[in-house]
Structure 1
Amino acid sequence: MTTLYRCITEDDTSQFCHRVSEALSKGWSLQGSPTMAHDPVKGVMRMAQAVTKQVTVDYHPDMKLGQQ
């Protein structure tokens, strides 16, 4: 088994929630709590959520993690 890791980031909009929900529906698990930080250049809050997933394929740097 291989554990994959990805960090989903997005402006603090419903799109962030949809991206995390989509990952959960594809078998990813939340890893820790979400974080929020202010982006002074864009003037918006940014969100981040780490997720992990157990897979049976070997890891390779060219993997498209969002498609796993």
Structure 2
Amino acid sequence: MLIYRYLTGEDDSAFCHKVTKALSEGWQLYGDPSYAFDPLSKKMRCAQAVTRVARDQPYDPDKKLVDF
């Protein structure tokens, strides 16, 4: 089963660490990153989709994606 996550955050080192942590846990980048201005906070926001194969596990919507 292929699992999908969409990571988002402010354009700062914390977002980069979030993506790096996902990659270190076996997630792979999926598609291009997104970058947009948030007019409410007046800050740039980043987003990156990641996927990972979870073998031999049925889908459970109550389970956190990081637990697959």
Task: Give distance in 2, aligned partners of 1:33 and 1:7.
Answer: 11
Q: Distance in 2 between matches of 1:66 and 1:14?
A: 21
User: Would you say how many aligned residue pairs link Structure 1 and Structure 2?
Assistant: 67
TM-score scaled by structure 1? 0.93
CA distance in 2, matches of 1:11, 1:47: 6
1:66 positional shift = 2.7
Give TM-score, length-normalised by structure 2. 0.93
Equivalent residue of 2:32, what SS? coil
Superposed CA RMSD in Å reads 0.9
| 1:60 Cα deviation from its structure 2 partner | 1.1
Q: Counterpart of 1:58?
A: 58
Aligned position for 2:22: 23
Instruction: Give the gaps of 5 or more residues in structure 1.
Output: none
Identity %: 48
User: Where in structure 1 do 4 or more consecutive aligned residues deviate above 3 Å?
Assistant: none
